[in-house]
Structure 1
Amino acid sequence: MITFIPLTGFLGAGKTTTMAATALALQERGHKVAVITNDQGVDLVDTKLLRSQLDSVAEVTGGCFCCRFEDLVEAVIALVASDDVDTVIAEAVGSCTDLQATVVRPLRRYYGEKMVVAPLTTVVDPLRYRAFDRAARRGEPESDLSYLFRQQLTEADVLAVNKLDTITSQQAVELLDRLRSDHPKAAVVGYAAGQGEGIGSLLDVWAAPPGNGAVALDVDYDRYAAAEAQLAWMNQALDLTAEGNGFDATVWARTVLQELSAWAAARQAVIGHAKLTVELREGDFAKLSLTEAGAEPTLDRSADATAPVGKAVVNARVACEPAALDQAVTEAVAAADRVAGVASSATAPVSFKPSYPRPVHRLAPLGA
């Protein structure tokens, strides 16, 4: 019997970091763990990062788990067969919701004899939560993105508040208390995956008996689709060649994200996330990320040395038109080329908007 741990949560919440930290912690407890990433596109920064940390990593691309349900099941079966894992942690696309009905209950109904499906966990970024909450408190009309975020909170069995190191201890206490009050049926835990703090509390919640999937989410799929359609999605690969003897991957990547951050801030465009890797040689790569317009990029991993050539992958999800994101990234790359002394060549711009969500299954709770 394997354990399947489903994660959801808005873009930039830290699902991948949570997945890596909990997988390593579970391995220390004697489990054999695999992880699965998920995205609307291909060429995933997160997959590369996870493969540098873990042995068993798979991905489901081209749509969310709900719309690629059989691909998810095949990925789980392949991991179990090839790597003899006993635990699979899977993170859904950050713009996805209604996972209780479209993933959790179908897995329990059709594969319950082979797997235990852990409580559905929604990973929450405190700063993102506070931004949406401030808009609601000001009486602003609920945007489609806010609606999507609220639905992710509502359907959670576990609300996992990540990045507590980004707010004060008093703010953390108030936030956790607020979530417990607003979502009394969910277990609420706080931690900081990037610092490795509080991970044990999340593992303890997952070890508890799974819920019965009784959350019956009332989702307006037109609003859900509209929220996803507000975001342009870009996954782009680039070849980099230094004009001199070598270039600094971190400098180049940081400049790209700084330029994109400033561009989004000037247009008040919401950044779901922007992630970038630059690989100089096999296993040696820099990775930076950005989750807020106007903010400084975060260095998640640095490359060990400079090199004359490299390969970059950009993943960006921004609330704008695809053509605008294509142009913004093109200009950001050109600026980074000048700063780092690099000549870059890229695949054609590939920004797009997700199609209307059409899940393979949508099951009501038993007895509903």
Structure 2
Amino acid sequence: MITFVPLTGFLGAGKTTTMIATAQALQEQGRRVAVITNDQGVELVDTALVRSKLDSVAEVTGGCFCCRFEDLVDAIRALVDGAGDVPVDTVIAEAVGSCTDLQATVVRPLRAHYGDSMVVSPLTTVIDPLRYLAFDRAARRGEPESDLSYLFRQQLTEADVIAVNKLDTIAPDRATELMARLAADYSNAAVVGYSAKSGDRVDDLVKAWDGPSGNHAVDLQVDYDRYAAAEAQLAWMNQDVRLTSEAPLDLTAWGRQMLAALGSWANCAGAVVGHAKLTVEAGDGDFAKLSLTAAGAEPTVDRAAEKTATTARVIVNARVACEPAELDAAVREAVATANAATGARSAATAPVSFKPGYPTPVHRLAATGA
């Protein structure tokens, strides 16, 4: 019997680091864990990071799990069937950060069609406390709810577990208040605070997956027009850039310069950053991975390169609330800024920014059909 652990949560919440940290915690308990990444596009930065940490990794691209349901099932089967002498017993999967309604479109269909071979754990929504507080402040000021805020709220409403990541980024008294407010506002969910980056209280999250799945018995009322509009606010870019340099290039420094420039542009343009991530990989496989989760913020180094190099490949995944052409231009300018700061030269593939199409789930089961 396979245990399947579904993760959801808004862009930039730290689902990938959560997936890695919990997978490692489960492995320490003797579990044999595989993971699945997911995105609307291809060439996923997160997959490269996960493969540097874990052995069994798959990805579902070109749409969320709800619209690529059979691809998700195929990925689970491939991980289990390809495990060799030590079979996988647990699969953790992170859905696209702009996706919601997973109880009806993923959790219940998996239970209904594959329940004889799979135990589906409580649906876990990962949140960044600073992102939550920003949305909450707007609501408390009486501002009209934006489509992005609506999407964020729906992700919380359908959660069995609300996983408050990066709890160490806010003061202890604010953390206590935030946890209490979430527990009161979303009483059907267990609320767990932790830090995937430091590993603090990750075991508490793993324990929560053994608890009951309360919200699978509740129908989430989703306005799919608003859901689609929220996704369409974001331009999605997956860009491939090749770097060369006469002198040895600090891969991490180049990535930091590039994301800082992109974040500065977003701040000036008033563009909400869902997330922007990149890897800078040398030919020998060494790579740096960095993230940006807010306009004007300091980039986060998720993995530093160990060596310098004179050639490298950059993969950029950016999700920003703007028009695709604006994001294309901003990324080009950010690359140029990083080149000027580090002495690198670059050649890029044609931009592939796009806006997601209307979400069309393969299945949507009501709670009474669970």
Q: TM class by shorter-chain length?
A: over 0.9
Q: Is structure 2 residue 258 aligned with structure 1 residue 256?
A: yes
Structure 1 residue 245: Cα displacement: 2.6
Q: Is structure 2 residue 139 aligned with structure 1 residue 103?
A: no
Q: Is structure 2 residue 66 aligned with structure 1 residue 66?
A: yes
Q: Which runs of 5+ in 2 are unaligned?
A: none
Q: Aligned partners of 1:42, 1:98: CA distance in 2, in Å? A: 23
Q: Identify the residue that residue 27 of structure 2 maps to in structure 1.
A: 27
Where in structure 2 are the equivalents of 1:75-86 lying within 5 Å? 75-83=75-83, 84-86=87-89
Q: Identify the residue that residue 342 of structure 2 maps to in structure 1.
A: 340
Amino acid corresponding to residue 223 of structure 2 in structure 1: D
Q: Aligned partners of 1:162, 1:323: CA distance in 2, in Å? A: 33
Structure 1 residue 280: Cα displacement: 1.3
Amino acid corresponding to residue 111 of structure 1 in structure 2: Y
Q: Is structure 2 residue 165 aligned with structure 1 residue 159?
A: no
Where in structure 2 are the equivalents of 1:1-368 lying within 5 Å? 1-83=1-83, 84-211=87-214, 213-242=216-245, 244-366=246-368
Distance 1:105-1:210 versus aligned 2 partners, 3 A rule: same
Structure 1 residue 210: Cα displacement: 4.0
Structure 1 residue 212: Cα displacement: 6.9
Q: Secondary structure, in 3 states, of the residue corresponding to 1:148?
A: helix
Q: Aligned partners of 2:53, 2:224: CA distance in 1, in Å? A: 37
Q: Report if aligned partners of 1:189, 1:201 keep a CA contact under 8 Å in 2.
A: yes
Q: Secondary structure, in 3 states, of the residue corresponding to 1:34?
A: strand
Q: Which runs of 5+ in 1 are unaligned?
A: none
CA RMSD of aligned residues (A): 1.0
Once the two structures are superposed, what CA deviation does each residue of 1:90-141 show, in whole Å capped at 9, x if it has no partner?
0000000000000000000000000000000000100000000000000000
Structure 1 residue 267: Cα displacement: 1.0
Amino acid corresponding to residue 296 of structure 1 in structure 2: E
Q: Report if aligned partners of 2:60, 2:71 keep a CA contact under 8 Å in 1.
A: yes
Amino acid corresponding to residue 344 of structure 2 in structure 1: V
Q: Secondary structure, in 3 states, of the residue corresponding to 1:355?
A: coil
Once the two structures are superposed, what CA deviation does each residue of 1:135-194 show, in whole Å capped at 9, x if it has no partner?
000000000000000000000000000001100111111000000000111001000000
Q: Report if aligned partners of 2:5, 2:93 keep a CA contact under 8 Å in 1.
A: yes
Structure 1 residue 35: Cα displacement: 0.3
Structure 1 residue 281: Cα displacement: 3.1
Q: Percent identity?
A: 71
Q: Aligned partners of 1:43, 1:145: CA distance in 2, in Å? A: 25
Q: Report if aligned partners of 1:6, 1:92 keep a CA contact under 8 Å in 2.
A: yes
Q: Secondary structure, in 3 states, of the residue corresponding to 2:309?
A: coil
Q: Secondary structure, in 3 states, of the residue corresponding to 2:240?
A: strand
Amino acid corresponding to residue 94 of structure 1 in structure 2: G
Once the two structures are superposed, what CA deviation does each residue of 1:219-259 show, in whole Å capped at 9, x if it has no partner?
000000000000000011111100x2311111111111011
Q: Aligned partners of 1:237, 1:167: CA distance in 2, in Å? A: 35
Amino acid corresponding to residue 63 of structure 1 in structure 2: G
Which runs of 4 or more aligned residues in structure 1 lie more than 2 Å from their structure 2 counterparts after TM superposition?
A: 208-212
Q: Report if aligned partners of 2:159, 2:215 keep a CA contact under 8 Å in 1.
A: no
Q: Report if aligned partners of 1:157, 1:185 keep a CA contact under 8 Å in 2.
A: yes
Q: Aligned partners of 2:67, 2:354: CA distance in 1, in Å? A: 17
How high is the TM-score relative to the length of structure 1? 0.98
Q: Report if aligned partners of 2:129, 2:167 keep a CA contact under 8 Å in 1.
A: yes
Q: Secondary structure, in 3 states, of the residue corresponding to 1:308?
A: strand
Q: Paired residues, what number?
A: 367
Q: Secondary structure, in 3 states, of the residue corresponding to 1:207?
A: coil
Q: Aligned partners of 2:190, 2:367: CA distance in 1, in Å? A: 19
Q: Aligned partners of 2:68, 2:306: CA distance in 1, in Å? A: 37
How high is the TM-score relative to the length of structure 2? 0.98
Q: Report if aligned partners of 1:52, 1:283 keep a CA contact under 8 Å in 2.
A: no
Structure 1 residue 305: Cα displacement: 1.2
Q: Aligned partners of 2:67, 2:369: CA distance in 1, in Å? A: 25
Q: Report if aligned partners of 1:45, 1:275 keep a CA contact under 8 Å in 2.
A: yes
Structure 1 residue 367: Cα displacement: 6.2
Once the two structures are superposed, what CA deviation does each residue of 1:33-78 show, in whole Å capped at 9, x if it has no partner?
0000000000000000000000000000000000000000000000
